[in-house]
Amino acid sequence: MKGVILAGGKGTRLYPLTASTNKHLVAIGDVPMIEYPLHTLRKMGINDLSVVTGGEHFSDVQRYLSMVHPSINFSYYCQTNASGIAKALEAAKPVLNGGKIAVVLGDNILEEDFTDAAREFEDSDLGAMLFLKPGREDDLYFTDANGIRRARFGIVEVMGGKVISIEEKPVHPKSNLVSVGLYFYDQTVFDKIKTLKPSSRGEYEITGVSDLYLQEGRLGYHLVNGFWGDAGTFKSRAICEEFVKQNLQAEVLEEMIERENDELLKKNLG
């Protein structure tokens, strides 16, 4: 399975931390945010890794990963327009087209090891797998530009062990199950992205892709165990930072030292 980290966007909700760098290089604990989704993929044994980013800080992400992770041969792709997660994924089509892929959003912090889920997906006839977690009531909603209170995330309704509906940021959610920023897809995902039309928000929604798999009867799901957080706002970043300082950042740093044999990192942590 190949892996891709989607690290685009302007990061306006974390301004001024993002005034001079990409959002995904903002620290969560003692390491940049992007280290956590990278760790999620690495724990699954995924070595073929691509990064999609964009904007004026594109080179910052490339420079950081090349310097800190010289043992990993990343492929980099530029998202020219911030027009939705589906279009960001499409930017990496040249290297991802063919086989099954794991897609993780660059601001998502996940505790669980998804190796078994990845193996299950690869051995199945499923075309896509969503990862679901009950949303925290204090972080589930936001008020949009029109003053309407709605869910901050895609909401998934499950019945009888099957996904029956998916809605992007609904005003009246049918459940509290959030589609977190991790997705497994087969090679038909890019054909599906081609058929999408912009939503009312003017974006090519990843929920639209998942809905096409649902219509085919080839959409599965996995209930996430352990912590999940979206570090894209000051409030949610604080929640993520409190969590990673317990154990996860130490796990990430240990893996970085072991893989890269980084003497400066060893010295700073000594």
On the question of pLDDT at 195 being above 90, the answer is: yes
For the chain, what is the mean pLDDT?
A: 91
Count CB-CB contacts under 10 A for residue 180. 23
pLDDT, tens digit, for every residue of 82-112?
A: 778 999 999 999 888 778 999 999 999 999 9
pLDDT grade for 118, boundaries at 50, 70 and 90? very high
The architecture (CATH level 2) of 2-269 comes to Alpha-Beta Complex (3.90)
pLDDT grade for 143, boundaries at 50, 70 and 90? confident
For residue 56, the model assigns a pLDDT of 75
Q: What is the mean pLDDT of residues 163-172?
A: 93
For residue 103, the model assigns a pLDDT of 97
Sign of CA dihedral 55, 57, 59, 63: negative
Q: What is the mean pLDDT of residues 136-156?
A: 86
For residue 199, the model assigns a pLDDT of 81
Please give the residue that has the higher pLDDT: either 200 or 228.
Answer: 228
pLDDT grade for 198, boundaries at 50, 70 and 90? confident
pLDDT grade for 268, boundaries at 50, 70 and 90? confident
Instruction: Assign residue 55 a region (left: φ > 0; alpha: ψ between -120 and 50; beta: otherwise).
Output: left
Of 19-28, 112-121, 190-199, 252-261, which one has max mean pLDDT?
A: 112-121
pLDDT, tens digit, for every residue of 204-260?
A: 899 999 999 999 999 999 999 999 999 989 999 999 999 999 999 999 999 998 888
pLDDT grade for 270, boundaries at 50, 70 and 90? low
